[in-house]
Structure 1
Amino acid sequence: MSEPGKEEFRKLVERYLDGTATFEERRALESYYTLFDSAPDASGILTEDQLEELGDRMKEKISRRLRPAAQPFFRRTYFRAAAAAAVLLAGIWLTLTYAPRHKKIADPIAATSISDRPVNRFLTLPDGSTVILHGDSRLEVDENFNQSERIVRLTGEAYFDVAHNPDTPFIIYTGKIKTTVLGTAFNIAAWPGQQDIIVSVTKGKVRVEDENRVIAVLTPDKQVTYNTESSAIGEKPVEAAEAIAWLQQDMTFDDMTLDELAGHLARRYEVNIAFENPELRKCRVTGRFSGTETLEEVMRTLSILMKTQYTITGKDVLIEGERNCI
């Protein structure tokens, strides 16, 4: 890396650490850190103190954004190493920072019934809330969604990250259970043929009710189990990471071609992904996402890694660039 490039990267790190980095700089850097799985030495570019502080700060920021924080992937030594790796990719960051790399036109899903399929899917509701729907689950969105209330009905399992709107409660019906939130993130498991309905909260607060009473008011790292046959209730503290471990199962890839990864992302986000340069399909990627990322965040991170550009237009994604596999 050239000396001017090193100096620009130092400035980028300083902006991140002192809180003056732009939203785009922060989110792209944080998304990259969740994916990178190894790192070379970066001595001579950042000081030891800067590497330590950047690693610690990155862990804090990512943990706060994603909740829950405690995942084995996020270790102190890992973050310090990832800080070192980011230094060696400063040229990529500078391109991201100073030149637009994509354009996007996003479409939320229509307020209709979502049919069950055997793959996990990422959905954006009309109010901006996001849902990761477990494979073989079903979500029905009320036709009057986002008027006086935001009502959905779930069969199976899903992770909700609800857009804050205190004037329009978000309500999920799962059999006999009604879960009401204003703005939070949580997991609900209500599978056909199973007596227990389980609600686990990763951030915010939710109220869980049956037909006759309030069952529980849950805060982060709390879980309630409701038995639909006996009406028995069990509330306990949990490691929220365990409740939503399924989110990451299909977002971990080892030496996967970009073509294979594109097919997986197309199914998950229900989009069409095409390559301007067919040679890019052969590039290989190893890494792991948290499972809560939007399509935009995933594509941004991949574009940084692969030195590509992308365009999202409705349900169509075009990946552009020369073959430059890293």
Structure 2
Amino acid sequence: MENNTYNVKELAHKLKQGTITPAEKIWLDAWYVNFNDEEVLLSSSKHQNPEQLREGILAKITAQMETPAQATRKVVTLWSNIAAAAAAVVLITFASLYKNEVLNVVAPAKQIELTVAPGKHKQISLPDGTRIWLSPGTHISYPDKFYAKERLVKLEGEAFFDVVHDEDHPFVIQSGQLKTVVLGTSFNVKAYPDQIISEVTVVTGKVGVQEHDLPKSQQVIMERNQRAVYNRNNRLLLKEDYPNASKFLSQRTGLFNYDGAALQTVADDLSMQYDIHITLAPGIAKAGFYGHINTNETIEKTLDKLCAVMDLRWNKTGNNYNLLPLPSVN
């Protein structure tokens, strides 16, 4: 490839992927040095918005490509060699510092918005390889490229995260008033916007949870089989042991296992999974349920199985499902 056909966008991608050639690297480093970094330090008087900044930088890129510097013959001396070596070190350092900023200009990250329908589960993979299992009724927002120091995603609802370790780029989840920070681990976040209580439960690794942008923010650090419980009304953030954290490994795909859980707990789980309301007849809320429920099945099929085990019956009124004892046999 000749110098006059170099494309900054292509070279930026090659630099990120590690496929750039030495000649291309030299050209790109030189372009970095000629680039006016005052453009990066956005001034409100010079640029009114990021689009104006992007247009100005792209115009500079075009000018650089259309008028490449012409090579001239120079007498090489010992001092010029030393100066060139020192300059190369500076160029490489400069390129490393500004790589992400330039990439975000020539190939800006796009924000992806995803919402999971009630009664559905979805698994996705992020650009860094992190895997996420999204529960029904959950909304998530994340960039299609991670350029920033933090790998930031925003969550409303519930999701199980298996985060790829990256010591230099913490993984951050913003969910309402909570901010969860990890390097690489697996954990479950439950933070529906219409619920007062939010929970972060750690299955493996270590997780930090703190309030997001609030005065005198609290924070806790949790390890395996611990969880943070946050009450947004009184801003109470507590850490507690949670030996059953591994249950989220099956629940992330919609499989719920109960070992004597109160029927009210089961009903609350089903209400959240299917986006419905379940009313229990008096006297049955504390009855213990032992069994398995697959919320990937229809709510009708799920209630049929639940009632068969608990000797109950159900009916429906609008969007409300009623669980009742079986009629007495005379």
TM-score range, shorter chain: 0.3 to 0.5
More relative contact order in 1 or in 2 (CA 8 Å, sep 6+)?
Answer: 1
With normalisation by structure 2, the TM-score equals 0.41
With normalisation by structure 1, the TM-score equals 0.41
